[in-house]
Structure 1
Amino acid sequence: MAIKWKTALSAVAVFSLCFLGIPIRVDPPDKNMQSYLKFLAARNRSYVQDSDEFEKKFIHFRNSMSRSADLNSSGEHPLSAVYGPTKFSDLSQEEFTLKYLNPDLPVKFMKEEIRSLSLRKHHKHQTSKQRIKRAVAVPIIDTTLPKAVDWRIKGIITPIKNQKTCGACWAFSTIETIESMLALERGSSVVLSVQQGVDCATNGNIGCAGGDTCRFLEWMNLSKVSLLPESQYPFTGTTGSCKMKLNAPAFGTRITSNFTCNNYAGEEGELLKLVANHGPVAVAVNALNWQNYLGGVIQFNCDGSPLSLNHAVQIVGYNLTAAIPYYIVRNSWGPDFGDKGYLYIAIGDNVCGIANEVSAVDVI
């Protein structure tokens, strides 16, 4: 009996050494995976767990969160831009660029004289990397300008649009600006057809495959095109055949020959005057780092070179009284992106290239 007890005690001792005396390694849960699962639930994504697609999208999401952390580390002010999970976070940067941006804009579409002027001004006013990381310089501004302008509260800005995967930001931003000027001219707003521009505009524009605001305005002016309401020519998200008869009697909305397409890099005080005294404008920008933007004022890590332009948006106002003076920027990625469809970009130093190509219009 004593031998049996000794044997039992020995077994217990061995068990203790195996399972109690030696620490057992348990890997902590992957925070990125936890965030990814929450992201999938919130966005109603339907990837089959443990599938190749699930794993591939997780890698893209994890990389997005890593880039977001790097971008967030530059923000030193409560108003600075914040980056994190967005509806685009499970795309690679290459997929995001291909589906939502136009990286060939400077080469294929920008008017040569505007691009040359932009390049000259960019090199003339270029700041050091240290300056870009540290702060944004506010330009000398006419003291007679309003300290804050927000055309949204004037009732002339139509609801946020969604271009989806159609690369026609050039048409969206221009049409939105024409809508705004029409509301200023007539006292009431109307949603105009973006699809009409996508299908019909020539002059180098190629529908959902890309285009340029200046070339679009030139084409509208030379062709004497009358824009139809959205209800008569609805958006499809793809490039279709043109359903407009160019020789038909004029009706709808037309622009005047007074449209402008200028470069204000290094002269953003003039851009502010234009927004305050004339109205909203369409601008070309570099939106590469907007993929995971959640809100706040973009100050850093947004190259302003004219060679980096890849998107077009609308400036609908500005605020010079904020701790970080900023432009109010309307995007075309739907109301579920950014701040209900809007972004904020710091005034000064041509952040994101916002002053390189600025289009303003009048309507009749």
Structure 2
Amino acid sequence: MEWRTVVVIVLVVSLCFFMIPIKVEPDKNVEDVKLFANYVDQYNKSYKNDSAEYKERFERFQKSLRHIEKMNSFRTSQESAYYGLTEFSDLSEDEFLQRTLLPDLPLRGQKHTTASYYHRHFTNSVHRVKRVTGIPSKFDWRDRGVVGPVQNQESCGACWAFSTIGVAESMYAIKNGTLYPFSVQEMIDCMPGDYGCQGGDICSLLSWLLISKISIISENAYPLTWRTDACRLSKTSAKTSGAKITDFTCDSFVNAESELLTLLVTHGPVAAAVNAISWQNYLGGVIQYHCDGSFNYLNHAVQIVGYDTSASIPHYIIKNSWGSTFGNKGYIYIAIGKNLCGIANQVSSLDIV
């Protein structure tokens, strides 16, 4: 027997007596299949028995899983935003944009930047938020009982109406001491132009309410249907009953977020246009990264109801309209100071009687 052969045999036998750790990656596809089956059941997806769509949705679901892993890898603390499966996780990013958000919001919003009610605020530094004086380090209008429950816009693209009416309810409660539910559906049906569930914007709605002197009536009198219907207001009742907008602003606080904090404390909750494309799989925590603040990427409308600069990550408290099971009981937290998600691009406050 040649010496080379002897050496090989000895090496092979020797290896049998040693534990050599070999890392075997789990089969992600098998895990993903199980996760998807549970996901379809949990959210009662309609394509459960449609094999073609099931396969297609599974592929998009897998992309969401990989994206969730990537987003969670950026977490720097326990307070950082974390991501996981939501009812939107079987959508492509483009589907999420088209079905849930407002792709044309920048075009709708741009026309307001030259209006008399538009103001651009400036301060020396947006990073001096912690040293803002004259206002508390933490403020939340929910603690004062003037913020209504989180609503769900479902498949109706009327975030512009939900956010505006939510702020109107809060401002009425601050002034009159009673939290009174107003009609979102009235705005969806009666706002002139190509709005309804097909999309709109906060500033146009407030401008129409002010100029027309239209009254905002109660939710009970004009309940939500989640679709665009014919307006059911008569010309006389529209101007005689309910609450009315007496003034509003539609401002930019880019590079002036400390002034936005002051407005929240001294005036009340505000409605804001945001870029929510990265929220598809959001579960909670404070968003700090990967949420573009460009005006051109605005696609959703929300309410800002408070802030906390005493937290390890100073943040806004955002009331959304995707139901109480999304995010943190329907709320989202966005870090202050960098115009994350475009939160400071177009912010509206209002007065009401």
TM-score bucket (shorter structure): 0.7 to 0.9
Q: Does 1:197 align with 2:219?
A: no
Q: Check whether the contact 1:331–1:341 (CA below 8 A) recurs between aligned residues.
A: yes
The residue that corresponds to 2:259 in the other structure is 270
The residue that corresponds to 1:18 in the other structure is none
Q: Distance in 2 between matches of 1:75 and 1:138?
A: 23
The letter for the 2-side match of 1:363 is: I
Q: Does 1:158 align with 2:148?
A: yes
Q: Distance in 2 between matches of 1:138 and 1:54?
A: 50
Quote how far apart the aligned CAs of 1:97 are: 1.0
Q: Distance in 1 between matches of 2:34 and 2:229?
A: 42
Identity level (%): 47
Q: Distance in 2 between matches of 1:138 and 1:324?
A: 13
Equivalent residues, number: 326
The residue that corresponds to 1:100 in the other structure is 100
Further displaced range: 141-150 or 227-236: 141-150
SS in structure 1 of the partner of residue 271 of structure 2: strand
Write out per-residue CA displacement over residues 175-199 of structure 1, whole angstroms, 9 at most, x where no aligned residue: 0000000111111111110010011
The residue that corresponds to 1:17 in the other structure is none
Cα 1:138–1:38 change in 2 (3 A) is farther
Cα 1:65–1:114 change in 2 (3 A) is farther
Q: Distance in 1 between matches of 2:215 and 2:31?
A: 54
Quote how far apart the aligned CAs of 1:49 are: 5.7
Quote how far apart the aligned CAs of 1:121 are: 9.0
Q: Which of 163, 168, 193 is 1:173 aligned to?
A: 163
Q: Distance in 2 between matches of 1:140 and 1:324?
A: 10
Quote how far apart the aligned CAs of 1:78 are: 1.1
Structure 1 gap ranges (5+): 1-26, 126-135
The 5-angstrom pairing of residues 114-125 of structure 1 reads none
Quote how far apart the aligned CAs of 1:138 are: 5.2
Q: Check whether the contact 2:84–2:283 (CA below 8 A) recurs between aligned residues.
A: yes
Q: Distance in 1 between matches of 2:31 and 2:128?
A: 39
Q: Distance in 2 between matches of 1:183 and 1:81?
A: 31
Quote how far apart the aligned CAs of 1:335 are: 0.6
Q: Distance in 2 between matches of 1:69 and 1:121?
A: 38
Q: TM-score, normalised by structure 1?
A: 0.84
Structure 2 gap ranges (5+): 1-25
The letter for the 2-side match of 1:264 is: F
Quote how far apart the aligned CAs of 1:332 are: 0.3
Q: TM-score, normalised by structure 2?
A: 0.86
Write out per-residue CA displacement over residues 223-250 of structure 1, whole angstroms, 9 at most, x where no aligned residue: 0011111111111111111111234351
Q: Does 1:326 align with 2:323?
A: no
Q: Check whether the contact 1:282–1:314 (CA below 8 A) recurs between aligned residues.
A: yes
The residue that corresponds to 1:280 in the other structure is 269
Cα 1:287–1:138 change in 2 (3 A) is farther
The 5-angstrom pairing of residues 121-160 of structure 1 reads 137=127, 139=129, 141-160=131-150
The letter for the 1-side match of 2:71 is: L
Q: Which of 293, 297, 305 is 2:282 aligned to?
A: 293
Q: Distance in 1 between matches of 2:194 and 2:135?
A: 36
The letter for the 1-side match of 2:318 is: V
Cα 1:245–1:50 change in 2 (3 A) is closer
Q: Check whether the contact 1:110–1:212 (CA below 8 A) recurs between aligned residues.
A: no
Further displaced range: 178-187 or 48-57: 48-57
